[in-house]
Amino acid sequence: MISQAVVPLIFLLLLYAVKRYTACRQLVRTVNGWPGFRTVFNDRFLFFPFRVRGISPGAQWPFYSKHADFAKAGWDVIALVNALPSPELSLYVADAAIAKEVMGARARFPKPTDVYELLATFGTNILVTEGEEWKRQRKIAAPAFSERNNKLVWDESLRVVNDMFANVWGDKDVVELDHVLDITIPITLMVIGAASFGRRMSWKEDGAMPIGHSLTFKDALLEVSNRLVLSLLFPQWFLRLGTPGMRSYARAYDELSRYLDEMVQERRTSANNEERYDLFSSLLEANEGQLDGDTKLSDKALLGNVFLFLVAGHDTTSHTLAYALIFLALYQEEQDKFYENIMAVMPKDRALKYEDMGSFSYSLAVFNETLRHFPPVIGIPKYSAEDTVLTTTNAAGEQARLPVPRGTYITISASALHHNPRYWDDPDAFKPERFLGNYPRDAFVPFSAGPRGCVGRGFAETEAVAVLTAIVSRYKVEVREEARFAGETFAQRRARLLKSQHSLTVYPERAPLVFRRR
């Protein structure tokens, strides 16, 4: 009886497998057998974080492989065909010309907005929309990132770092950290609080809470930004009933929502006509100034965009600053060049000024070189809205035309593009000076590019230059020595300190550093 029941089941499974195999073979034929991966699951199937031949290329494979898989394929485009959860063709790109074409043609290659669902937690925003809705939101959001806001970012960055020097590090000549994120996370959080929300925070807050709140704005902001992924995994009602960690996050989420709602109402009803240059005030002012009711954003869309600025600005910049300080600790000669540039622009007896920012060339070069190694977004997702053809060129100068069927997922692999030896000399090395002159701009995409390039690029660059310059002008950054790693080589030390984990962006797992007063 059992065997008779099993036979039809086996037959159905075989039939299912044959159909999937046939569909995958057809996808391979549509791209003329283009080299790449042929696997059961795609790289978004997180149960296979590492590569298993024929099963999965591994989640986040471009981050770990960088350009190696493209070099092995012989082309700067790789075709991934997978059978489950449904037969699918994806292209991964490390060709600068194709990247420019794809990111520059928004209508032909729109963004698959579903992959950004998590960042719509507090409401729709310019990142999770396309078409006319995206145009409407960008028209209102982009002007908030003004020169006046950049100056506010600069001033607040210096205020926060100097507050750390005075009230946390004090008169210590040597400051040891268990992990560099212990300073970069709160620094960026406090800068974002002031420059995005108009709410100043300090290292020595007394923890007083406004009436009607059970958490301070700072604590709610930190909790939500650090554990935002929970909103993607679970509904809010489930989080409120879950583990202590889930309940803590749900409480912070509710508190932050209440704070943001209160801020909207307070700014609208305030009789104070003082000019404010924080992103929230600028966005609200631009929205209120729209005469066309169809152009105005709803309160939820307003909050969605402000929340996006929070997450994008806090998460990405805090991690990039951490990697930059690690690189400077590892490469002392580069740190010396950086310090010499600072002293040439700003003698020790003069304060940092926003007007001098353009002269701190090495600071921006350090930031850009760090972004080249660790772009906040490993892959920039697009899809083809029509049947088209892409032309790619390999290292030997040979050209090939690749058919791209409508609906094909296309990912610009920032990690591979940033490590492609066709564009970057000695790509694995840390060489900030490569950004002091002409560099291959089409092969550098940490902020994406084209019409959908990041509107907050100036914000991030201003904050990074201010923070890095302020720290390196006062302290020499070194790797903290630990007895258990006494015999390691430089390569081993670099690999250990730069070992990374993944959340919304990549971040260093553990990097103990020492800051020694100059």
DSSP code per residue over 315-351: IIHHHHHHHHHHHHHH-HHHHHHHHHHHHHHS-TTS-
Q: What helix, strand, coil percent values describe the chain, rounded to 5?
A: 55, 15, 35
Q: Is the dihedral of CA 437, 462, 498, 381 positive or negative?
A: negative
Task: Specify the pLDDT at position 291.
Answer: 52
| pTM (2 d.p.) | 0.91
Give me 35's structure tokens.
């080299």
Nearest to 316 by CA among 414, 178, 463: 463
Task: Provide the 3-class DSSP secondary structure of residue 201.
Answer: coil
Pick out the residues of the known binding site for heme. Answer: 454
Q: What is the per-residue pLDDT for 293?
A: 57
Tokens of 282: 């600028």
Q: Could you tell me which of 373, 378, 361 has the C-alpha nearest to residue 320? A: 373
CATH of range 135-373+452-517; options 1.10.630.10, 3.40.50.970, 1.20.200.10, 3.40.50.300? 1.10.630.10
Q: Give yes or no for a contact between 469 and 477, defined as CB atoms under 8 angstroms apart.
A: no
- Enclosing H/E stretch for 391: strand 388-393
Q: pLDDT (tens digit, 9 = 90+) per residue, 198-253?
A: 888 888 876 667 888 988 888 888 888 778 778 777 888 899 999 999 999 999 98
Q: What is the pLDDT of residue 118?
A: 65
Q: Which residues are annotated as a binding site?
A: 454
CB 474 within 8 A of CB 518: yes
Q: Report yes or no: 403 and 29 within 8 Å, Cβ to Cβ.
A: no
What is d(CA 460, CA 454) in angstroms, rounded to the nearest whole number?
A: 10
Q: What is the pLDDT of residue 262?
A: 83
Q: Of 332, 364, 372, whose CA–CA distance to 345 is shortest?
A: 364
* Cis peptide bond upstream of 427, omega within 30: no
Question: Angle 452-458-459 (CA atoms, 0-180°, nearest 5)?
Answer: 105
Which stretches of 142-289 are DSSP H helices? 147-164, 181-197, 217-226, 229-233, 236-241, 244-269, 279-288
Going from N- to C-terminal start, the domains of the chain cover 135-373+452-517
Which tokens belong to 454? 């990041």
Residues of the chain with pLDDT under 70: 1-5, 45-46, 117-118, 121-122, 206-208, 270-275, 289-295, 312
CA 157, 161, 165: angle at the middle one, nearest 5? Answer: 165
What pLDDT shows up at residue 351?
83
For strands 88-93 and 409-413, give the pairing.
parallel
pLDDT for position 50: 81
**d(Cα 216, Cα 259) in Å, to the nearest integer?**
9
Per-residue DSSP letter, 66: T
Dihedral sign computed on CA atoms, order 206, 212, 215, 218: negative
